[in-house]
Amino acid sequence: MDQDLDEQPGCHSVEGRPRERPHRRRAICAAGSSVALRFVGEAYTVQMDRPAVARRTATYGDLLAVPDRLVAEILDGELHTSPRPTPRHAHATTGLAGDLSGPFDRGRGGPGGWWILAEPELHFGDDVAVPDLAGWRRTRLHEIPSEAFFTLAPDWVCETLSPSTERIDRGTKLALYAREGVAHIWLVNPISETLEAYQLEHGRWLLVVTHAGDVGARIEPFEAVELELWRLWGRSEPG
């Protein structure tokens, strides 16, 4: 049925046909669609927007279905997966865990008072994050939970950066850790051989220090022990 498009919103013209009176044209109803009409010469062309597809929020069941060879997280309702770390990434992470676990987790050669864990699963509401390393002061976390995850935010987090994860680590996950009140975060990059230490101040991350190369460093919150950073970069001796 011919109708005036001006009186029938949600309709579009038949495939561009010349009209002597371009303000009146044959219309076909397209309920539920978004259309744009563009006049070219004597013909109207139709530009149709595709209907918006509602994004499905990822669930913990989706995360559990991910193969074990991948690391899975749910951030802002989206399921993110990443491959297991490369050797340089793994060496930096395990080396740092070893440097910190003795003096701070076990109290050997250091003050103790911490739990240091590798790849703990953190549940913050609907978000699920898996940092490379995390630490809790024992004054806040008196014992390790029996569940497979933590709901108490850690006091310190370390993310070992790689090209495939750096954007999320610096963006979505930093915002998540700030929201949950994590006090300290380290970003370790074994490719550029750098360690960046941040501290949360009034809900924002303040860069405290950046160390690069073969330095020895005392870094909050583990400043009681000097770390030999060259050992994290996959070398047998300092350069």
Q: How many residues does the chain have?
A: 239
- Percent of the chain at pLDDT > 90 equals 72
One-letter identity of residue 193: E
Mean pLDDT of 78-98: 95
Tokens representing 132 are 């490379």
Angle in degrees, CA 224, 228, 230, rounded to 5? 155
Mean pLDDT of 12-40: 42
Domains of the chain in start order, with CATH, are 5-49 (no CATH), 84-233 (3.90.1570.10)
pTM of the model: 0.77
In the β-sheet with 204-212, what is the strand arrangement from edge to edge? 114-118, 133-137, 156-160, 184-189, 194-201, 204-212
Tokens representing 111 are 């003050």
* Residues 105-143 pLDDT 10s: 999 999 999 999 999 999 999 999 999 999 999 999 999
Angle in degrees, CA 120, 82, 194, rounded to 5? 75
Q: How far apart are CA 126 and CA 145, in angstroms?
A: 19
The confidence score (pLDDT) of residue 50 equals 57
